[in-house]
Structures are given as C-alpha cells and as structure tokens.
Amino acid sequence: MRRFTLAATAIALCLATLGAATLAQAGNRLRFEWASATPSKFFLGAAGTINFAFKLKGSGTRDLRIDIIRVGSERVRIIELEDITAGSRYVQKWNGLNVNGKPVKAGTYAFKVKNANGKTVSLKEVPGTRRMGYYPYKFPIRGPHTYGDGIGAPRQGHTHQGQDMFASCGTRMVAPRGGRVQYAGFQGSAGHYLVLDMWHTKIDAVFMHLAGASPLAANDKVRTGKHIGDVGQSGNASGCHLHFELWSSPGWYEGGHFMNPTKKLKKWDSWS
C-alpha cells in the first residue's frame, strides 16, 4: 500500500510539473498587439530604411525570428532577435540588401515572424500591414511627361543615343538611383548636363538639356530621389525635355557603349 501511495504521489508530481511547464510555455508564446512595415513603397538607396515595427503582448522577454520574403518567390533575409521585451515598441530596420550585401530584386516583400523553434506565428488578426513594395530605381521626371524619340532616331551627323521624354520646363528631376556625380557642366549640344555613376551597378546615367546648372557638382554623393536639376531645353534642344542615356562600364565616353534605356525607363515609370 505504501509503495502504491509513493508511486501515485510521484505521478501526481510529474503531471503537475508538466502542467506547469505547459502553462509557462503558453504564457510565453508570441502574441502581438500590432505589427506593421513602413513605408509602403521603398526605393533602393533612398534616405531612411524599411522599418518593421511591432509590439508584443504580455511581459518578460521573447526570442523570435523575422523572415523577409519576396512574395511568390524566395526568402532573402533571416533576422534572429533575442530578448525582445514584451509591452515595448521594437523596430527592425532593413536596407533592402540580401545577406551578401547585394540589392534584392524588385517586387512585393513580406515580413513573417517565427518563434524560437522556427514555427510561423500567425499575424492574420494582428493590426498592421506586413507587405511593402521594393524597387531598385525611381523614375527621374517627377511630373506629367510623354515619350519622344528613342535610340536610332535620325539626327544630323550622329545616331540618337538615348530616350527623349517631354515635360513642362521646370519639372523637377531626381536621381533614379543613389550614386556619385561623375560630371556636371555645360556642353554646346547637351546643354546643362549631369552624369551619375549609379551604386551597385556598372552603369552611368546621363541627363541632358537641364533648365540650368545642376545643384550638384562632380564627386557629390546622392541618394535615390535626390533633386538633380529641372527639365529644360538648354543646348541643342527643341522643346522642353530630358534626353536620358545609359552607358555600360567603364562609363560615359570612357570606353563604355550606350544602351537602350527605353524599356527600363518605362518599367521605372510603372513603379513610381
């Protein structure tokens, strides 16, 4: 009888311990008050970062993992977080680069959360948006515009090497991607012009017929979306427009060759 009583007591203690552990795990599970990604649209090289902000329910600390997913495709980053304090706002920043420091592809990206054991945490009922658009280039003309002549259009004495885009004189123009100003000046045919060596590429972007001198100078570093000048008709130009060129490595009139920018521009236009 004594042995039975001891065995029963041991079983009861074991069950109590397991019950306490289960309750502790349940109380320590990941629960969110809210979780949201901003901005809803981000351009590589722009000022600021992509921010995934959230607030956990409960008390104490939690370990978790954030997976950054290109929707319909691959996972691009895994971020492990330890000792996140429940009840406090936390922000995880992302610069749009993969684990190797390279820009990710354009598309819609989502932030997914997993617990310390790798199990996905449902955020279906949690307030906030976890998706955002990510784009590697921004269309340079920031106003109404139309497309004119592209590469190969007949020109007196030379081949047209870029894409013309017409807009009202004075329309603001921005850097389509962050980089370094290679040249900024005036030339008889090009008028006021600027050449931008774009980061994480081997391509130069060239802007011609600016309304006036660019506010930037050679060797200035710029971010995506930075004001680089205004649409004009300086130099040998008919009507207010931007003549835009792309040049391969090693660069504009440095041994590279001009590339057809039209498809790229229209893609950037659709994003912007």
User: In this structure, are 172 and 214 located in the same domain?
Assistant: yes
Please check whether residue 251 lies inside any domain of the structure: yes
pLDDT at 13 over 70: no
Tell me: do 156 and 254 sit in the same domain.
Answer: yes
**158 and 205 co-located in one domain:** yes
Banded pLDDT at 8 (limits 50, 70, 90): very low
Arithmetic mean of pLDDT, 98-127 = 93
Mean pLDDT, the chain, as a whole number?
Answer: 89
Asked, for residue 9, whether it belongs to a domain, the answer is: no
Q: Is the per-residue pLDDT at 1 higher than 90?
A: no
Instruction: Please check whether residues 153 and 125 belong to one and the same domain.
Output: no
Q: What whole-number distance in Å separates Cα of residue 201 and Cα of residue 191?
A: 26
Q: Which of 29, 164, 19, 9 is nearest to 86 (CA)?
A: 29
Could you tell me which residues come within 8 angstroms of residue 135 by beta carbon, excluding any fewer than 6 positions away?
A: 41, 42, 43, 44, 106, 268, 271, 272
pLDDT at 5 over 70: no
Burial class (CB within 10 angstroms; exposed 0-12, middle 13-18, buried 19+) of 7: exposed
**265 and 224, same structural domain?**
yes
Q: Is residue 34 part of a domain?
A: yes
Q: What is the reported pLDDT for 160?
A: 84
What is the structure's pLDDT at 157?
Answer: 60
Give the residue with greater pLDDT, 98 vs 170: 170
Which one of 102, 135, 168 terminates a domain? Answer: 135
Give how many domains the chain has, as a whole number.
2
Percent of the chain whose predicted confidence (pLDDT) is above 70: 88
Same domain (yes/no): 81, 179: no
What pLDDT does 74 receive?
87
**Same domain for 252 and 163:** yes
pLDDT at 24: 38
Lowest average pLDDT, out of 93-107, 172-186, 213-227, 228-242, goes to 93-107
Q: What is the pLDDT of residues 14-25, one digit of tens each?
A: 444 444 333 334
pLDDT score at 254 = 86
159 and 116 belong to one structural domain = no
Q: Which residue has the higher pLDDT, 159 or 120?
A: 120
Ranking 66-70, 136-140, 153-157 by mean pLDDT, the lowest is: 153-157
Q: Is residue 126 situated within a structural domain?
A: yes
Query: What's the Cα-to-Cα distance from 106 to each of 38, 196, 203, 248, 269, rounded to whole Å?
Result: 16, 21, 18, 21, 13
Last residue of a domain, one of 114, 135, 156: 135
pLDDT in the model for residue 210: 98
The Cα–Cα gap between 218 and 196 comes to 9
* Residue 259 placed within a domain: yes
Does pLDDT of 226 surpass 80?
yes
Closest C-alpha among 269, 19, 33 to residue 128: 33
Looking at residue 185, its amino acid is: G
Write down the pTM of the prediction. Answer: 0.82
Range of the domain at 161: 146-271
Position 28 confidence tier, pLDDT thresholds 50, 70, 90: low
Q: Per-residue pLDDT for 62 more than 50?
A: yes
Task: Please work out, in degrees rounded to the nearest 5, the angle formed at the alpha carbon of residue 54 by the alpha carbons of 49 and 60.
Answer: 130
Q: Residues 161, 243: one domain? A: yes
Cβ neighbors of 107 (< 8 A, separation 6 or more) are 70, 71, 72, 73, 133, 134
Q: What's the CATH code of the domain at 79?
A: 2.60.40.2840
Domain end (from 85, 107, 135): 135
Per the domain annotation, does 22 fall within a domain?
Answer: no
Is there a domain that residue 19 lies in? no
Q: Is the pLDDT at 138 greater than 80, yes or no?
A: yes
Alpha carbons 63 and 49: distance in angstroms, whole number: 23
Distances in whole angstroms, Cα of residue 109 to Cα of each of 21, 71, 106: 37, 5, 9
155 pLDDT band, cuts 50/70/90, is low
- Residue 8: DSSP 8-state: H
* Mean pLDDT along residues 79-98: 95
3-state secondary structure of 198: strand
